[in-house]
Copies of this chain bind each other. A is one copy, B any other.
Amino acid sequence: MGHTETLEKLHLIDREHRYLERIIAVLQWDEETYLPESGVEERSEQLALLEGIAHARLVSPETGRLLEELGSTPDNAGGDEKLPSLERDFLKTFRHNYDRSIKLPGDFVSAAARAEGLSQAAWAAARRDNDFLAFLPHLEKMIDFSRRRALYWGYDDNPYDGLLDIYEPGMGASGIDAVFTPLGAKLSALLKQLASRPRPDTSFLDQDFDAEKQACFSRDLMGRLGFDKKRGRLDISAHPFTTTLGDDDIRITTRYLPRQVQSGIFSTIHESGHAFYEMGFPRELGSSCLADGASMGIHESQSRLWENVIGRSRAFWKAMFPVLQSYFPEALSRPNAEDFYRAINLVEPSLIRIEADEVSYSLHIILRFELEKALFSGSLTPAELPAAWRKKMKEYLGVEPETDAQGVLQDIHWSMGSFGYFPSYALGNLYGLQFWEKLNADVPGVDEAIAAGNFSPIRSWLRDTIYVWGRRLAPEDLLKTVTGKSLSAEPFLSYIESKYNGIYGY
């Protein structure tokens, strides 16, 4: 069998694996959006079965044989050096997924999927009822599954490193520490400095904003940003997310809080940023494992760039405030675009990560990163989490949640077993600003385009410069290729300082 034929067979296995992953994504999307309450239990069984099937097909002996024929080994994942570079990149990524999968027993994969489905539902109920103890047994199970996953994969020091690797390959806890420690110190100092300055007026945000009208504005807004509604949609879930159900079926969710209109808006922009990345992979990567983000940190760089750097900018609201006003003519009759810009950029330590301002946001992440590290090193038990959470909130942000719903239960991630994901958000802030610097160097008049409601220069640059690579480059290589530099917090910190100096005049 020649390489061409072998590659074709492997591409088929890869494509069918992705179809199965996307069917799983349909089931999960449905679970978060429309599944009737009593349907959760059987849905978990369905997910367990399908995860098991997908896993068994991927790690079948045939896959191993085909990889071998192409010269791909754990040490030379790209295979035969005479293969075209696109195929070698494909083999590297495919082999990475395959090596990870084959280390996990099929029963383990099914059991984890079953437990995750139940755990998510239990989390949603526990958060609603503010009942951490009801969620605790699920949380313990999720930690146990993650620990075993890390064991199967192998790790040097802490199993947490193995988990971090899923989301940000190669960084590890110590690599992240090295970035987060100085970042946290600088942000804390800035936070203290801003606390002594006069607070922008936010009183007009403290009104009732009809949820149905919020939804209409969100749909309008995503269209203006360039979201192709033939290839995706917007729904409502307890926790906003983006999911890819097909090459041409990328869905986002948001939530509408009647007395916090900005929450639905910025979630919509954030998830649109993820969706643009998923929608923007070149067709030549097709439905292959290369049509994927470089890492979760890079993915979050896209969402947080749109949400914050673009979406919370003065230029953005110059264009969009009149639009928002047209949906809420009465509630927003008093403020002008500048008032709105200042209000949504209020810096104030608060309880909820996804509502946090840009200055304090990364401190929410550092807190979670440290708790995860402690959980997996064994120095913290799951039962101790609520108290540890409150203590660290007090320490880093000076505020303490009155309820666990506003504390340790606020995020969905742990209920899905996604330990190690949180650092991606803060890394995304850093990557994002490095990309943004380069974008502004390459494209003249970005601010003016935004102020005119024209986002196509931004989208084109992102597509041609970042999306085009899919998962062909590792995050650090992508960063180097695009910006010529390594990971650095400087662009982020100088953006923050200049922006908030402008608002607060400190």
In the complex, which residue of chain B has the Cβ closest to the Cβ of A53? B53
Given contacts A30-B30, A36-B248, contact A49 B229 (CB under 8 A): no
Within 17-67 of A, Cβ neighbours of B (below 8 Å) are at 19-20, 22-23, 26-27, 30, 34-39, 41-43, 45-46, 49-50, 53
Q: Choose one: B19, B34, B38, B228; the contact of A49 (CB below 8 Å).
A: B19
**Contact B42 A232, beta carbon cutoff 8 Å:** no
**Contact A49 B249, beta carbon cutoff 8 Å:** no
**Contact A248 B38, beta carbon cutoff 8 Å:** yes
**Contact A22 B38, beta carbon cutoff 8 Å:** no
A287 at the A/B interface (Cβ < 8 Å)? yes
CA of A112 to CA of B35 in the docked complex: distance in angstroms? 28
A247 at the A/B interface (Cβ < 8 Å)? yes
CA of A34 to CA of B37 in the docked complex: distance in angstroms? 19
A16 at the A/B interface (Cβ < 8 Å)? yes
**A247: chain B residues within 8 A (beta carbon):** 42
**Contact A36 B230, beta carbon cutoff 8 Å:** yes
CA of A23 to CA of B53 in the docked complex: distance in angstroms? 13
Q: How far is the CB of A363 from chain B (nearest CB, A)?
A: 37
**Contact A231 B38, beta carbon cutoff 8 Å:** yes
**Contact A38 B230, beta carbon cutoff 8 Å:** yes
Q: Indicate how many identical chains form the complex.
A: 2
A246 at the A/B interface (Cβ < 8 Å)? yes
CA of A26 to CA of B232 in the docked complex: distance in angstroms? 18
CA of A98 to CA of B228 in the docked complex: distance in angstroms? 44
Of A27, A43, A228, A249, chain B has the most CB atoms within 10 Å of the CB of: A249
**A233: chain B residues within 8 A (beta carbon):** 34, 36
In the complex, which residue of chain B has the Cβ closest to the Cβ of A246? B42
A347 at the A/B interface (Cβ < 8 Å)? no
Q: Choose one: B41, B53, B229, B246; the contact of A248 (CB below 8 Å).
A: B41
CA of A45 to CA of B232 in the docked complex: distance in angstroms? 18
Within 377-430 of A, Cβ neighbours of B (below 8 Å) are at none
CA of A30 to CA of B22 in the docked complex: distance in angstroms? 13
In the complex, which residue of chain B has the Cβ closest to the Cβ of A50? B23
A290 at the A/B interface (Cβ < 8 Å)? no
Given contacts A39-B249, A246-B39, contact A46 B23 (CB under 8 A): yes
A351 at the A/B interface (Cβ < 8 Å)? no
In the complex, which residue of chain B has the Cβ closest to the Cβ of A38? B248
Given contacts A23-B23, A36-B232, A50-B23, contact A248 B16 (CB under 8 A): no
**A46: chain B residues within 8 A (beta carbon):** 19, 22-23, 246
Q: Choose one: B39, B43, B50, B229; the contact of A36 (CB below 8 Å).
A: B229
CA of A49 to CA of B15 in the docked complex: distance in angstroms? 10
In the complex, which residue of chain B has the Cβ closest to the Cβ of A46? B19
**Contact B38 A19, beta carbon cutoff 8 Å:** no
Q: Choose one: B43, B232, B235; the contact of A249 (CB below 8 Å).
A: B43
A245 at the A/B interface (Cβ < 8 Å)? yes
**A248: chain B residues within 8 A (beta carbon):** 36, 38-39, 41-42
CA of A287 to CA of B49 in the docked complex: distance in angstroms? 14
Q: How far is the CB of A213 from chain B (nearest CB, A)?
A: 13
CA of A245 to CA of B23 in the docked complex: distance in angstroms? 14
**A26: chain B residues within 8 A (beta carbon):** 26-27, 30
**Contact A23 B19, beta carbon cutoff 8 Å:** no
CA of A446 to CA of B247 in the docked complex: distance in angstroms? 54
CA of A246 to CA of B22 in the docked complex: distance in angstroms? 19
Q: Choose one: B19, B39, B249; the contact of A35 (CB below 8 Å).
A: B249
**Contact A49 B20, beta carbon cutoff 8 Å:** yes
CA of A43 to CA of B23 in the docked complex: distance in angstroms? 9
**A45: chain B residues within 8 A (beta carbon):** 19
Of A16, A20, A23, A229, chain B has the most CB atoms within 10 Å of the CB of: A23
Given contacts A27-B23, A30-B30, A43-B249, contact A49 B16 (CB under 8 A): yes
CA of A228 to CA of B38 in the docked complex: distance in angstroms? 10
Within 223-276 of A, Cβ neighbours of B (below 8 Å) are at 228-233, 235, 245-249, 251
**Interchain Cβ contacts under 8 Å between A and B, 22 examples:** A16-B49, A19-B42, A19-B45, A19-B46, A20-B49, A23-B23, A23-B27, A26-B30, A36-B231, A36-B248, A36-B249, A37-B230, A38-B231, A39-B245, A39-B246, A39-B248, A39-B249, A41-B248, A42-B247, A42-B248, A42-B287, A43-B249
